[in-house]
A and B are shown apart, each in its own frame.
Chain A
Amino acid sequence: MKLKARHTFFILSALFLIYSVSIYLKPLSVNTDDRFDKTAAANGKLVWQKYNCQACHQFYGLGGYLGPDLTNILSQPGKGEALVKAMLKTGTKQMPAFQLSEKETQELIEFLKSTDASGSADPRNFENTNFGMIERYETK
């Protein structure tokens, strides 16, 4: 049993490593998106984490549950960059006002531009396909 178990363990582990590496290499095949500054967006992600925005907010339905999903906050009707900046300064009923520097605010906005450019997170933009799978029928 031990020998068989060991072989199965190593085969599965090798498959897992191959699968993992294929995901790590993915950025090499992605075209550059000129709708946002890549470096500033990457710094904006650090701002997002520094102020723990994920405690309340989500991207693509992943994150906290107290506030709304912010994936497409910049392109939603009636929302956008000005609203985000105002909310950060004044806070809301639940959200405290954050004292972000001008640079941090701009990097965070750039990060939100990158999430917005990645696709639509609205569940209404999906349809059922074969075998219970879902696909996006409205792409940005």
Chain B
Amino acid sequence: MKLNKLHIGNLFLVTAIIMLLLGLGFGLLAAFIYLYPNFLKDSIGFISLRPLHVSSAMFWIILGATGCVYNGLRVVTNKPITNRVAIMQWLLWIISIIGIFISYFTHQFGGREYWEFNPVWALPIAIAWLLFLSNFYSHINNVRKWPVYMWMWLTGLTFFLFTFIENYLWLFPYFREHFITDMTIQWKVNGSLVGSWNQMIYGTAFFLMDRISGTKKVGKNNLAFAMYFLGLFNLMFNWGHHIYTLPTEKYIRYIGYIVSMTEWVFFVKIIYNWKGAVSDIQKHYHYFPYKFIMASDIWVFINMGQACLFSIPAINIYTHGTHVTVAHAMGTTIGINTMILLAACFEFLKPDLYKETSLKALNRVFWFLQISLVVFWTSLNIAGIKKGLWQLSNPQSSYSKMMDSLEPYFITFIIAGFGLFVSLSIIAYKLLKHSKKSIFN
């Protein structure tokens, strides 16, 4: 097979969609354990299902972002990107994913939260990322006057590698022996890693806006650059808002607090400016990419409001360690990242929907997805607020009694989760159905 026949960006996107499907399945199984504690308890159990769900979801985002950057780079440089380095990068990811999943199924853990696999599987990921970075650098030399999304991609790529390595400092006893420093670094890493892939995904959103509007104005205006630097500033310094209750240095918490308050402000404004610039013809031509970008816009607004509120420590004390945090994580992962990635998948994979499927039917799925997410997000928030009030109550009932009182919200969250599973699976199926054509030119 000739390398130039293979579309590496789309290969990454298709791999990412498969991870999305797996993540949905594992997530649904894990959610059942909230209602039926004995469900799969003595076999795979929650201790495996949770990392299987979280890792699959993260790989959906990371591989999806990788696919978007490769697709974008192909357009910006106007030349094919596929080469041996890119193929090797993809193979290293596949080796790592298989190893990680086997280790989860066989209860061979060793890493810390969100990266629970044995650290040995982090090595192929780190090498794959080095190859990605070198491939990116080798292709951008001749591009003049970088639009903002190229800066965002470069930032995401660079800081992901830095924080991913930092994520393994606990391997050294020097760090591990100091619990508070170790926890501080863990949440510094978590904050910056999310910021890194957000740079890649939001960069893709800007790229798509330029492409859909056909103006190339979004990626080069001053406001977009201001927004980018604000995002970068937050990636570097806002993570302190995760650890207000940790007895670490005051300045870390104050920096986290102050920087968090600057978050998101420009992003919404840019999207609204862009919305006005898109004509009806362009909306029709890029129908689903446009729809998913607009959905992400609404979810940015909702999550921005929530994030700004609970980045205030006096409010954070009520929500910290509760399902409000889960609602926020799900709201941003599904509502923002997944919506932008789906917009990109529709744009780059170009599924032939107009011939086989009535647009009306897929539209219904789109709205079913949004409604399911609203119910899902709301039920988690209510459960979180109830737990928050319990945490501050005096005298306090037992933990298990408090969890039992949350059952109605967990039932709602599972039903809504099933709605997300169905709607996202239908969309993923439609995208995958014709994917062979989009991978092999």
Beta-carbon contacts under 8 Å, A12-32 to B: 12, 15-16, 19-20, 23-24, 26-27, 30
B176 A62 Cβ-Cβ under 8 A: no
Encoded as 1 (CB less than 8 Å from any A CB) or 0, chain B from 116 to 138 comes to: 10000000000000000000000
> Which residues of chain A come closer than 8 Å to B320, judged between CB atoms?
61, 123
A66 B34 Cβ-Cβ under 8 A: yes
The one of A23, A24, A55 in contact with B46, judged by C-beta atoms closer than 8 angstroms, is A55
A1 B220 Cβ-Cβ under 8 A: yes
Encoded as 1 (CB less than 8 Å from any A CB) or 0, chain B from 148 to 183 comes to: 000100010000000000100110011111111111
Interface size class of B (residues with CB under 8 A): 35 or more
Closest Cβ–Cβ distance, residue B241 to chain A (whole Å): 11
Task: Name which of B68-76, B245-253, B296-304, B331-339 contacts chain A.
Answer: B245-253
Question: For the complex, what is the distance from the CA of A93 to the CA of B33, rounded to whole Å?
Answer: 11
Asked if A64 is an interface residue, CB under 8 A from chain B, the answer is yes
The one of A65, A115, A128 in contact with B326, judged by C-beta atoms closer than 8 angstroms, is A65
The one of A9, A45, A65, A126 in contact with B317, judged by C-beta atoms closer than 8 angstroms, is A126
Which has the most chain B C-beta neighbours within 10 Å: A65, A96, A136?
A: A65
A27 B34 Cβ-Cβ under 8 A: no
The one of A5, A26, A96, A134 in contact with B181, judged by C-beta atoms closer than 8 angstroms, is A26
A63 B181 Cβ-Cβ under 8 A: no
Q: A49-B116, A62-B243, A63-B113 are in contact. Are A5 and B232 (CB under 8 A)?
A: no
B225 A5 Cβ-Cβ under 8 A: yes
> Which residues of chain A come closer than 8 Å to B249, judged between CB atoms?
26
B313 A93 Cβ-Cβ under 8 A: no
Q: A9-B155, A50-B110 are in contact. Are A39 and B177 (CB under 8 A)?
A: yes
Closest Cβ–Cβ distance, residue B152 to chain A (whole Å): 11
Asked if B206 is an interface residue, CB under 8 A from chain A, the answer is no
Interface size class of A (residues with CB under 8 A): 35 or more
> Which residues of chain B come closer than 8 Å to A63, judged between CB atoms?
113
Encoded as 1 (CB less than 8 Å from any B CB) or 0, chain A from 47 to 63 comes to: 00111101110111111
Closest Cβ–Cβ distance, residue B239 to chain A (whole Å): 10
Encoded as 1 (CB less than 8 Å from any B CB) or 0, chain A from 64 to 77 comes to: 11111100000000
Task: Name which of B85-93, B184-192, B271-279 contacts chain A.
Answer: B184-192
The one of A20, A30, A58 in contact with B188, judged by C-beta atoms closer than 8 angstroms, is A20
Question: For the complex, what is the distance from the CA of A72 to the CA of B254, rounded to whole Å?
Answer: 25
Closest Cβ–Cβ distance, residue A52 to chain B (whole Å): 4
Q: A41-B179, A52-B51, A62-B187 are in contact. Are A128 and B37 (CB under 8 A)?
A: no
> Which residues of chain B come closer than 8 Å to A60, judged between CB atoms?
183, 243, 245-246, 321
Q: A62-B242, A123-B391, A134-B313 are in contact. Are A118 and B180 (CB under 8 A)?
A: yes
B178 A93 Cβ-Cβ under 8 A: no
Closest Cβ–Cβ distance, residue A114 to chain B (whole Å): 5
The one of B41, B146, B312, B323 in contact with A132, judged by C-beta atoms closer than 8 angstroms, is B312
Question: For the complex, what is the distance from the CA of A50 to the CA of B47, rounded to whole Å?
Answer: 11
> Which residues of chain B come closer than 8 Å to A93, judged between CB atoms?
37-38, 400
Chain B: CB-nearest residue to A8:
B229
> Which residues of chain B come closer than 8 Å to A62, judged between CB atoms?
113, 183, 186-187, 242-243, 246, 321
B247 A119 Cβ-Cβ under 8 A: yes
A55 B41 Cβ-Cβ under 8 A: no
A123 B247 Cβ-Cβ under 8 A: no
Chain A: CB-nearest residue to B104:
A52
> Which residues of chain A come closer than 8 Å to B110, judged between CB atoms?
46, 49-50
> Which residues of chain B come closer than 8 Å to A2, judged between CB atoms?
144-146
Beta-carbon contacts under 8 Å, B176-230 to A: 176-188, 220, 225, 229
Q: A66-B33, A132-B312 are in contact. Are A118 and B247 (CB under 8 A)?
A: yes
Chain A residues proximal to chain B, CB less than 8 Å: 1-2, 5, 8-9, 12, 15-16, 19-20, 23-24, 26-27, 30, 38-39, 41-42, 45-46, 49-52, 54-56, 58-69, 93-94, 96, 114-115, 118-119, 121, 123-124, 126, 128, 132-134, 136
